[in-house]
Structure 1
Amino acid sequence: MVDAQSTIGAAPSSAPAEPAAGEVRLGRRTFLTFLVGVPALSLATSVTLDGFLGDVAEAATGSTQAVPSGQSIEETFDIADAIIMAGAPTMPLLKLDIGTDGIVRFDIPRIEMGQGMTTSMAMLIAEELDCPLEQVKVTCADARPELACNQMTAGSCSHRQFHDPLRVLAATAKMRMTAAAAQQWGVDPSTLSVHDGVIVSGDGRTATFGELSRAAADPNLKIGQVRLKEASQYKIVGKPTRRVDALDIVTGRKKFTMDLQVPGALPTMVRRAPTLNAELQEFRNKAQVEKMPGVIATALLKNGVAVVAETFEQARAGAAAVEAVFDSGPVANESNETVGQKLRASMLPFMAPPAGENTVEAEYEWAPAAHGFLEVECAIADIRSDGGDLWSGFQAPIVAAQQVALACGLPIESVKAHVVPVGGGFGRRVFFDAAMEAALVSKQVGRPIKLMWTRTDDFRHGRHRPQNVHRFRATILDGKVVSSEQRVAGVSTDYRHGLGEIFSAIITEMPQGAKQAIVNDGFGQGVFTTMVSSPYNLGAQDKRQLEVSLGMPTSSYRSVPCQTARGSEEMFIDELAEKLKVDPYEFRRALLKSDRSRAVLDAVAERGQWGKAMPEGHAQGIAFHSESRSHTAALIELDARNPKLPRVTKAVIAIDCGKPINPLGIIAQMEGGLAEAISLTLKAGLHIVDGLPLEGSFSQYKWLRMRDMPSDIQVIVMPDKGDPIGGTGEVGMAAPTGAIAQAYAKVTGIRPRKFPIIHPVDFEPFAPGQLPPPAFS
């Protein structure tokens, strides 16, 4: 088989590849062709309903010191439930494949972007099959339009969606292998066992999966009832396991889009506008640029001039030499300050009137933020008269291929999107701007194109997490919080990718125009409602968001809107505790709705020795968050002896995700969430001035460095107590955010209101509309 991660040849045809000699593959005389239908679909539906009811029963068990708030929408139906429901009808189309080589293959319709998903899903399969993990290969599937809404990586829902179906597939495969061996040997299947991918009989006979794969594919084979393992029987799941691709990553064998060698693909870079979303009006020196060394062609895009050359350095030099005129764009005069003013002016009013000394109010503002992944945007496109092929790190490959086909005037089914693992996504890659640009250039020049953004393109013209402002008002009577309101105003988040396919994308895109569609903003309100809920009993609660359409390029961001919305609420909880003169940990514990929530809070308080004496200039902070059916808490120690150079020195994090599959992967997710929380809370944010971010490199965008990561990080993975599986990709950001801000306020006496807390322009920005000089001359 061709491994799409490492081998790229000529552009593939639309016909599926023939299996290798002797190989049994699904779809062609393949193994388990009929098994997925009812079991997978029915299990997917069951998992969805379980997810709806996850914490409802325990949610009413709050402290008698708190005024109950009742259930919010997110606590009973969250964004992941919506994605799971949308994908349920096509779950029967997903198949497991075992060849005569004994290798177990599963093409998952999600993308590996550093979260370790391919490892943990391989662990689930290997566990139920009783075979070595090395025998299982989980890869990213290319775009499969027949899957409709079931191929978008978002919402921290992949394991919630695939956990039980994958186990059923693997367990059924083992049953068929056992039945095939029993038939060949003329014995009762119950007398056989499976060890390390080998069927073993009582008299010592053995057969491998590969040897049995053809017989096991017989549709007339009779098998008994499929039974899944109990957690007590696990040998792989729940055990710390290193990523299966870790060695390939550190040795450079793992191939990302920039590493792929599609024959004839020409290096291409783009000269962009001096303001966000400005459009090209005139390309003044086309002839001169096309005469530059190595330059093959130029092409016009809506937002820039693409230069095609023999090498990327020649393409960069050509793009830097472009003389072009752009219009002013929709936000040419905007800055963080003017946007903040518009957001405050648009803020929805509170419902509860102020009650004098019994009222507590607060406001927090978050600057726009870049996704900041290490791998810049890159895509390869080969657009022909009869169709095309795309290669890139797609979080939503179906809609990418469909939208490119429409833009290039091709039949919607004629463009194929090949999913390449990426070095970070964080929500940015649900859009496919680089692939669209590469396709449009390829159509114009008639050649395959390998288009790469510069780092400056990523920071300045990439989609960013939108700026937002949060206001809170709470009323306190007799020492209890009897009402709490949160109002959020933010620049519109672009959700015009829909659910990852063309129909919902078109719905969220209409009407056309620079101003985001009303339907898109309604979708955004739905995302806010199904992601953000308070885990506390705060009496009568009301949360409302209003999005302001400005025409800025935005997209979802890891844990958006939770990192800012819930991070801000955690800060407000501290202000309420201060007003009531109670300990922040004890206050949270009294207000939390569920025992699972209190358990993770208690775990970090005990492990981190909450309340211990701290050296001068140091302080502790503690906070809690629940999201994606997971619960987490963080205790942070902060060194702020120099308030302008605060540094997190210790972090204790507890995570209850229901059923931990790979503790090492969960720890890595929590550490990644911590890194983002430290960055976005303390130093990392974009300064938009005159319609363009000033930041153009990591030297200017103050993401944390290795020296900023605390040397003492302790992650407590709570044991499986039978709760439904939860997500871990996004839940790890909001609790550290609140804890860092609390510690900063303690040690400095300054309650932070704007984030990041330390946000000076202490660098010389690159000139607007200019490419930065090469790193090496």
Structure 2
Amino acid sequence: MSLGTPEHDTQEPVQHPSREHSRRQFLTYLVAAPTLAVAARIGADGLAPGTAQAVVPSLPAPAEVLDLGDALILAAAPTANLIVVTVDDAGRVGLALPRAEVGQGITTAVGMLLADELDVPLDQVDVTLADARPELVFNQLTGGSNTIRSVYGPVRAAAAQARARLLAAAAARWGTAPSVLTVSGGVVSGPGGRTATYAELSAAAADPGLAVVVATPKPPSAARLVGTPTNRVDARRMVTGQMDYTLDLDVVPGALPTMVRRPPSINGTVRSVQNLAAVKAMPGVVDVVTVATGVAVLAETFGQALAGKEALQVTWGPGTVDGESNATIQQKLRAATLPFAVPPLLTTTVDAEFDFAMVSHAPMETNSAIADVRRDRAEIWSGLKSPIVAQQTIAAELGLPQSAVTVHVTQGGGSFGRRLFFDAALEAARISKAAGKPVKLMWSRIDDMRHGRARAASFHRIRATVAAGQVLTFEHRVASGETDTRHGLGEILTSVAASLPVGGNLSFAQTIFLTTVHSPYQLGVTTHLLNEVPLQMHTGSWRSVYSANTRGAEEVLMDEIAAKLGKDPVAFRREFLKSDRFRAVLDKVATEGQWGRSLPRGTAQGIGFHAEYKSCTACLVEVDATDPRRPRVTRATIAADVGRPINPRGLESQLLGGLTDAIGTTFRAGLHIDAGLPLEGSYSQFHYTRQADSPRDARVFILPATGEPGGAGELGVPAAVGAVANAYARATGTKPRSFPIEFPVDFTPFPR
């Protein structure tokens, strides 16, 4: 894997206790309203793309005019001025980021922005995670590949104002003008060889009487760190086991390890516990309480809690989907698929249908939380991507005012959308209240896979009409299990409804669908429609939400349309892509990946392209399918244009992670639903990508900066899904239609 830059040692961050705001800690607030990123992109890429003149053009899709990320930025704009940068009396720069770090590297990227604006080394910057801040309203949700897009302007503006105040303090001390001063490494230099550190200036800079003009951020050309591949500041702690996750925290004396016995089907209920007294008498067991989600065992150790919950004899009430299986769900989805508008009468059509199974988020860290609930207050610790809604919900559940509930956001061990939901925090609060004791709640891996959130199953029906070497219409109909979005996104979209490029009585799901999914190709009259089936299952936004399946399936069909028109897959895409920017990315990956090179029988190349959230990427893979039941990606090349890349090394990781997700969910990783419950209960059963399944030769190319940052957290999945499926199709001579492709129940399920 190469970005063309040498590796270097990771800087180990210095840990500091939280400090109270005081005169000795300089605070600066953003005072200028931020400029929305959407204004720079509409028209440039969406409304006036560079088109291939020979093709039948398509009207801009809603997501090309204003996407979900734009909507999140609009909703956050009224409170974007509440982002706080601090410079303390030790000269350290700090920011409590109102987002969740779950491994995507945002604390490093934001630290780089601060370091550049304030002219300090990165190891002098501390980016922590903010507690739930209800005054931010819609500005503390992590999702939609939106963190860097949404904080890029406010963080830089706040840091620029901080720098201006420090320079003004130095100028006042020396009786000179700020314009003659320079900064390097957190040291201000002035005429006559005078110098002063940020530590020495912080108190004076905090003086409200200091006269300072509103500052503007530096131009991109002045960047020192931004745009340079940089190791994560927390990488060494992660790989050496020194990173603290929720259950590593020792924040509440006497918090009891807790586990929950859960029902044998989704949303089952507790009717009775037959051996309550016997379990309470087991070694180390402190208490056993019943809550809405099951029976909780509190013990002195997690081993004792696990033994206690396994020993419970519970009579269960039925769940909400007891009769459902993969087969019944797909039957319902097929029946719910909306019809095409263009009949296959006078033109040639290319038609296809695709099934996608449910998929677990499967983060390394299972669901966990610490809760200390008292009569008049509560305190919660958990990895949370929507902490304000978590705080509101927990307060209502406990019968407390929201101000009496403190929610701390902790480092998350993976998410992929999972931690948008706060079910562990809510469950821990319920248990703590019922038992009258603080708890450390841990879900087992089986709990997490069977009762946690998952990507909903979906069915796709696609039709393209072609004539005279052109694509005249393209219709995609999606039927999916309902994706639960009760984590604050609904309120956000409602708040900006007047600005959304969709109208009428559209369903909420369709609104999200249309502001995230769009075709990057000129395919004539293009329509996308979603219909969701309200199965009462535990679903959630899985990485790339609707696009992973929708655009992945479309990339498979692009190869089949190209074959129908007698065109090479890359040449077809190049001809029909909407902009020169897209074509530059495709050209880069085709060149670097040596598209069309000779390969042994049973091995083939596949290509995929995707654009979302003002970014675009292409993926070219080679798949060895000499054993069609054990296909393997042996080589991968990825190119991306993400606008202005903040940390190219972080982007490389994001795109490789998207490829890893695509390999797993395309080939082997999915959930088998049986009698209302997933059969999978461990990584040995949920066949996600292992090291042995990953390509040893994988290269990522980030194109030069253009404009402001686009989203990249989910970008890599859809193109890679298409590329992997297309390579498999060419290697085997088949047309894959059901994913994952190899999906037997090849294990003995754990007891329910």
Instruction: Please tell me the TM-score bracket, short chain as reference.
Output: over 0.9
Whether the 8 Å CA contact 1:403–1:502 is kept in 2: the answer is: no
From the superposition, tell whether residues 438 and 520 of structure 1 become closer, same or farther in structure 2 (CA, over 3 Å): farther
* Aligned-pair CA distance for 1:405: 1.1
Match of 1:587 in 2: 572
* Aligned-pair CA distance for 1:220: 2.7
Match of 2:636 in 1: 651
* Aligned-pair CA distance for 1:741: 0.6
Aligned with 2:303 (options 309, 313, 318): 313
| Pairing 1:47-126 to 2, within 5 Å after superposition | 47-53=37-43, 55-59=45-49, 61-126=50-115
TM-score scaled to structure 1, two decimals? 0.92
Letter in 1 for 2:124: Q
Give the 3-state SS of the residue equivalent to 1:164 in structure 2: helix
Give the 3-state SS of the residue equivalent to 2:535 in structure 1: coil
Whether the 8 Å CA contact 1:294–1:314 is kept in 2: the answer is: yes
Letter in 2 for 1:548: V
From the superposition, tell whether residues 6 and 223 of structure 1 become closer, same or farther in structure 2 (CA, over 3 Å): closer
Give the 3-state SS of the residue equivalent to 1:56 in structure 2: coil
TM-score scaled to structure 2, two decimals? 0.94
Match of 1:219 in 2: 208
From the superposition, tell whether residues 225 and 439 of structure 1 become closer, same or farther in structure 2 (CA, over 3 Å): closer
Letter in 2 for 1:742: N
Match of 2:559 in 1: 574
Whether the 8 Å CA contact 1:603–1:654 is kept in 2: the answer is: yes
Does residue 371 (structure 1) correspond to residue 365 (structure 2)? The answer is no
* Aligned-pair CA distance for 1:52: 4.3
| CA deviation string 1:72-104 (max 9, x = no partner) | 000011111111111111112211111111011
Whether the 8 Å CA contact 1:24–1:97 is kept in 2: the answer is: no
Does residue 283 (structure 1) correspond to residue 273 (structure 2)? The answer is yes
* Aligned-pair CA distance for 1:48: 4.0
Match of 2:315 in 1: 325
Give the 3-state SS of the residue equivalent to 1:766 in structure 2: coil
What is the alpha-carbon distance in structure 1 between the residues aligned to residue 494 and residue 731 of structure 2?
49
Of residues 179-188 and 100-109 in structure 1, the stretch that sits farther from structure 2 once superposed is: 179-188
* Aligned-pair CA distance for 1:500: 8.2
| Pairing 1:247-266 to 2, within 5 Å after superposition | 247-261=236-250, 262-266=252-256
* Aligned-pair CA distance for 1:628: 1.2
Letter in 2 for 1:676: D
Match of 2:738 in 1: 754
Does residue 552 (structure 1) correspond to residue 537 (structure 2)? The answer is yes
Give the 3-state SS of the residue equivalent to 2:669 in structure 1: coil
Whether the 8 Å CA contact 1:679–1:702 is kept in 2: the answer is: yes
Give the 3-state SS of the residue equivalent to 2:515 in structure 1: helix
* Aligned-pair CA distance for 1:143: 0.3
- Equivalent pairs counted in the alignment come to 732
Whether the 8 Å CA contact 1:23–1:101 is kept in 2: the answer is: no
What is the alpha-carbon distance in structure 2 between the residues aligned to residue 699 and residue 165 of structure 1?
44
Match of 2:418 in 1: 428
Match of 2:10 in 1: none
From the superposition, tell whether residues 468 and 720 of structure 1 become closer, same or farther in structure 2 (CA, over 3 Å): same
Match of 1:614 in 2: 599
Letter in 2 for 1:415: V
After superposition, the CA RMSD in angstroms is 2.1
What is the alpha-carbon distance in structure 2 between the residues aligned to residue 256 and residue 270 of structure 1?
20
What is the alpha-carbon distance in structure 1 between the residues aligned to residue 371 and residue 340 of structure 2?
50
Match of 1:24 in 2: 24
Match of 1:471 in 2: 461
Whether the 8 Å CA contact 1:397–1:500 is kept in 2: the answer is: no
Give the 3-state SS of the residue equivalent to 1:379 in structure 2: strand
What is the alpha-carbon distance in structure 1 between the residues aligned to residue 23 and residue 742 of structure 2?
59
* Aligned-pair CA distance for 1:224: 4.5
What is the alpha-carbon distance in structure 2 between the residues aligned to residue 303 and residue 119 of structure 1?
37
Whether the 8 Å CA contact 1:51–1:77 is kept in 2: the answer is: no
Match of 1:231 in 2: 220
From the superposition, tell whether residues 642 and 662 of structure 1 become closer, same or farther in structure 2 (CA, over 3 Å): same
Match of 1:728 in 2: 712
Give the 3-state SS of the residue equivalent to 2:419 in structure 1: helix
Letter in 2 for 1:687: H
What is the alpha-carbon distance in structure 2 between the residues aligned to residue 89 and residue 759 of structure 1?
48
Letter in 2 for 1:83: L
From the superposition, tell whether residues 335 and 174 of structure 1 become closer, same or farther in structure 2 (CA, over 3 Å): same
From the superposition, tell whether residues 520 and 664 of structure 1 become closer, same or farther in structure 2 (CA, over 3 Å): farther
* Aligned-pair CA distance for 1:322: 0.8
Whether the 8 Å CA contact 1:496–1:520 is kept in 2: the answer is: no
Aligned with 2:510 (options 522, 525, 537): 525
What is the alpha-carbon distance in structure 1 between the residues aligned to residue 410 and residue 624 of structure 2?
41
Match of 2:610 in 1: 625
Does residue 698 (structure 1) correspond to residue 683 (structure 2)? The answer is yes
From the superposition, tell whether residues 759 and 583 of structure 1 become closer, same or farther in structure 2 (CA, over 3 Å): same
Match of 2:484 in 1: 494
Structure 1: state its 5+ residue gaps: 9-15, 508-518, 769-777
Does residue 596 (structure 1) correspond to residue 592 (structure 2)? The answer is no
What is the alpha-carbon distance in structure 2 between the residues aligned to residue 160 and residue 36 of structure 1?
17
* Aligned-pair CA distance for 1:412: 2.5
Letter in 2 for 1:220: G
Of residues 439-448 and 91-100 in structure 1, the stretch that sits farther from structure 2 once superposed is: 91-100
Match of 2:285 in 1: 295
Whether the 8 Å CA contact 2:347–2:467 is kept in 1: the answer is: no
Give the 3-state SS of the residue equivalent to 1:229 in structure 2: coil
Give the 3-state SS of the residue equivalent to 2:257 in structure 1: strand
Whether the 8 Å CA contact 1:269–1:306 is kept in 2: the answer is: yes
Match of 2:125 in 1: 136
Letter in 2 for 1:667: E
What is the alpha-carbon distance in structure 1 between the residues aligned to residue 578 and residue 60 of structure 2?
10
Does residue 534 (structure 1) correspond to residue 519 (structure 2)? The answer is yes
What is the alpha-carbon distance in structure 2 between the residues aligned to residue 570 and residue 502 of structure 1?
31
What is the alpha-carbon distance in structure 2 between the residues aligned to residue 374 and residue 272 of structure 1?
20
Aligned with 2:439 (options 443, 449, 454): 449
Whether the 8 Å CA contact 2:610–2:616 is kept in 1: the answer is: yes
Give the 3-state SS of the residue equivalent to 1:46 in structure 2: coil
Give the 3-state SS of the residue equivalent to 2:192 in structure 1: coil
Match of 1:678 in 2: 663
Match of 1:742 in 2: 726
Whether the 8 Å CA contact 1:54–1:76 is kept in 2: the answer is: no
| CA deviation string 1:315-353 (max 9, x = no partner) | 001100111111221111111111000000111011111
Match of 1:146 in 2: 135
